């Protein structure tokens, strides 16, 4: 019986012969396609349970895609193991890449489009080269630790691809390909990296605002975007995609931020920026060349010039968000409040900003020196 890695093209190209032809797949053990002399084609699953052979038809290969047939075969195997208790690992015969493909298809609704594309890149570049063709049910904690260690030269990629692998293995449990509670990614410690966060000092903020004042006449919309980033702590995508319908009652009502719908309470400087802008388009920041909003590329080019002129060449646009958090911390706001201002769902995410207030604490301690000297 011939074996090959079945593709949709190969299945479609199979022709009837004088006798029944079975072609086995090398991806899922026991899965294949049967071509009858009459021309009919059927996907099948052939496995062994309790010492007896079990043959099961999956569906008509001329009406069902190979992708659907593979998923059905994998589900049947998992169900058989789960209900009959044949093996402690339900995915003993199912390759990692088959389950990963199913997870990305079924779980994708939980990810925003951009996150989905980024996760797909990590799957292809960091995860599949190591785990491809491994049985999903046989992946152990030691396997995951060795994989993670192999990425030590690229710690950012390692830290960001680890949650993707964890989702795949966790969902493998949900779909019945692994026993519950066996996710080998649990507890994997991430690499320690020097933070890239940069916080502007009071003097740097003043210099930045002076430069923006000078740019206002020629580039009013882009200057206003940067001001709003500084005055609200919003992400650049949240500001660039603002519509006038989102701004009412002194607040921004964001229908689709990174963490879902949220309300941004605006300070009086932020409201003044918006109230001074013309309302000639549904977008707050329309592109001059079309019906869309200003692009991230146009903002980046503008920012490069602004930061050089302000003498803050190492500052990224995202650091304005860090600056907003730092100023709030320095003025006594709680981590919970700052998390709400920034739109964080998890307070742990906000905690990483607390070190940005260190400079402010140092300044406060130094301001006490003259008082202490007089009382010493």
pLDDT, one tens digit for every residue, the chain (376 residues): 678 888 999 999 999 888 889 898 887 878 899 998 888 899 988 876 665 667 788 888 988 899 888 888 887 776 665 555 444 444 556 788 888 988 998 898 888 888 899 999 999 999 999 998 888 888 889 999 999 999 989 988 999 999 999 999 999 888 878 888 889 998 888 876 555 667 788 899 899 999 999 998 899 999 999 999 988 888 888 899 999 999 998 888 888 666 667 788 888 888 999 999 999 899 999 998 768 999 999 999 999 999 999 999 889 898 888 787 777 665 555 555 555 556 555 555 555 555 544 444 444 334 434 434 444 3
User: What is residue 76's predicted lDDT score, i.e. its pLDDT?
Assistant: 76
- Where are the extended beta strands (E) located within 106-250? 247-248
In a 10 Å sphere around its CB, with 0-12 CB exposed, 13-18 middle and 19+ buried, how is residue 64 labelled? middle
User: What is residue 228's predicted lDDT score, i.e. its pLDDT?
Assistant: 92
Helix (H) or strand (E) holding 227: helix 220-232
Which is it for the CA torsion 282, 283, 285, 287, positive or negative?
negative
Task: List Cα–Cα distances, 164 to 116, 156, 185, 186, 269, in angstroms.
Answer: 10, 13, 10, 12, 40
This prediction has a pTM of 0.54
User: What is residue 79's predicted lDDT score, i.e. its pLDDT?
Assistant: 66
- List all residues 6 or more positions away from 161 whose beta carbon is below 8 Å from its beta carbon: 122, 123, 125, 126, 127, 151
Q: Do 314 and 198 touch, CB atoms closer than 8 A?
A: yes
Return d(Cα 218, Cα 345) in angstroms, integer.
38
- List all residues 6 or more positions away from 294 whose beta carbon is below 8 Å from its beta carbon: 221, 222, 225, 240, 285, 286, 287
Partnered with residue 46 across adjacent β-strands are 55
- Written as six digits, the tokens of 317 are 């646009």
- List all residues 6 or more positions away from 344 whose beta carbon is below 8 Å from its beta carbon: 259, 350
For 86, the 3-state DSSP assignment is coil
**For tokens 């294949």, what's the residue?**
32
User: What is residue 371's predicted lDDT score, i.e. its pLDDT?
Assistant: 38
User: What is residue 88's predicted lDDT score, i.e. its pLDDT?
Assistant: 40
Burial readout 29-51 (b: 16 or more C-beta within 10 A, e: otherwise) = bbbbbbbeeeeebbbbbbbeeee
User: What is residue 143's predicted lDDT score, i.e. its pLDDT?
Assistant: 92
User: What is residue 369's predicted lDDT score, i.e. its pLDDT?
Assistant: 42
């Amino acid at each position: 019986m011939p074996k090959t890695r079945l593709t949709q093209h190969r299945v479609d190209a199979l022709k009837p012969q004088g006798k029944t032809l079975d072609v086995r797949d090398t991806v899922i053990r026991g899965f294949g396609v049967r071509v009858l002399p009459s021309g009919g084609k059927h996907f099948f699953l052939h496995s062994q349970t309790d010492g007896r052979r079990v043959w099961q038809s999956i569906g008509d290969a001329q009406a069902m895609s190979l992708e659907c047939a593979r998923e059905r075969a994998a589900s049947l195997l998992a169900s058989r193991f789960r209900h009959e208790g044949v093996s402690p690992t339900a995915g003993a015969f199912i390759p990692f890449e088959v389950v990963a493909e199913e997870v990305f298809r079924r779980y994708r609704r939980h990810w925003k489009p951009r996150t989905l594309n980024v996760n797909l890149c990590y799957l292809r570049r960091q995860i599949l080269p190591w785990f491809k063709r491994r049985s999903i049910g046989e992946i152990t904690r030691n396997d995951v630790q060795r994989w993670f260690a192999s990425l030590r030269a690229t710690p950012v990629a390692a830290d960001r691809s680890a949650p993707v692998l964890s989702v795949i293995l966790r969902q493998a449990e949900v779909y019945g390909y692994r026993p519950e509670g066996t996710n080998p990614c649990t507890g994997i410690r991430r690499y320690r990296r020097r933070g890239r966060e940069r916080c502007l000092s009071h003097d740097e903020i003043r210099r930045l605002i002076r430069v923006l004042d000078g740019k206002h006449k020629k580039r009013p919309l882009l200057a206003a975007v940067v001001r709003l980033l500084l005055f609200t702590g919003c992400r650049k995508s949240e500001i660039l995609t603002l519509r006038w319908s989102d701004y009412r009652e002194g607040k921004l009502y964001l229908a689709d931020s990174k963490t879902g719908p949220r309300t941004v309470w605006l300070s009086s400087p932020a409201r003044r920026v918006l109230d001074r802008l013309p309302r000639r388009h549904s977008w707050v920041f329309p592109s001059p060349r079309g019906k869309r909003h200003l692009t991230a590329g146009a903002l980046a080019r503008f920012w490069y010039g602004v930061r050089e002129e302000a003498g803050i060449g190492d500052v990224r646009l995202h650091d304005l968000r860090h600056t907003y958090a730092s100023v709030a911390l320095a003025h006594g706001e709680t981590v919970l409040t700052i998390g709400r201002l920034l739109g964080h769902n998890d307070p742990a995410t906000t905690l990483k900003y607390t070190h940005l207030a260190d400079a402010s604490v140092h300044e406060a301690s130094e301001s006490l020196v003259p008082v202490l000297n007089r009382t010493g």
